[in-house]
Amino acid sequence: MDGVMSHRRFEDAAGDAPLVVPVQRAGSASIQAIETIYLAHYRDVYRYLLGLTRSSDDAEEITSEVFERALRAWDGPPGRALPWLLLTARRIATDRWRRGRRLARILIAPWMHRTDDAGEQRTEFWEWFEAVSRVLTDHQREVLVLRYQRDLTNADIARIMGMSESGVRSLVARALEALRSHPELL
């Protein structure tokens, strides 16, 4: 029955008429392969997004969306899944950031000021992370996360960030030089 459309019946919240929802069944082998990739790379994608978004809630939401897209897009997993997952994560995070920025320009009056702390506790890690963020550009921080936390090759990083391999090497070198000039962060 693989690849055959079936229907599931659900009762609505009031218990009135049942809702019929079409469900596409995937092959159990591909679901198991994707589940293996999920178990192997969930934390990688989540940590990468945590560095990009600086929000555990946003990182969790986007990570879920990345794996939903993988489930829909893949007939079977690609040879190297992590670069595809991280590229997709980056694109989703960028889209959300752009939408949020446009919405903020529309809704927030120029005289209103953003507060630095929305009630979340400041931890030593986040204070260090903000200090590093003041020293490094977003691209420099991202390339260091991909290189040293995710241990990706220059080719994979170039594919994820949309730049050349030599651009990746230059960006890593500039980021490391910026960190070396601030030994209090190391």
30-78: per-residue pLDDT in tens? Answer: 778 888 899 999 999 999 999 888 889 999 999 999 999 988 888 777 7
Is the confidence at residue 103, as pLDDT, over 90? no
pTM: 0.56
Where does 122-186 sit in CATH, by number?
1.10.10.10
Nearest to 117 by CA among 50, 185, 54: 54
- Residue 46 corresponds to which tokens in the numbers above? 């989540």
Q: Residue 21 has what pLDDT? A: 41
Domain boundaries, the chain: 27-109, 122-186
Residue 19's pLDDT band, with cuts at 50, 70 and 90, is very low
Q: How far is CA 67 from CA 23, 29, 40, 44, 154, in A?
A: 18, 17, 12, 12, 24
Topology, domain 27-109? Rna Polymerase Sigma Factor; Chain: A (1.10.1740)
Residue 157 pLDDT greater than 60, yes or no: yes
Residue 133 confidence (pLDDT): 82
In the chain, pLDDT over 70 holds for what percent of residues?
73
Closest CA to 146 of 70, 89, 65, 62: 89
Q: How confident is the model over 109-136, as pLDDT tens digits? A: 444 444 555 545 567 777 877 888 889 9
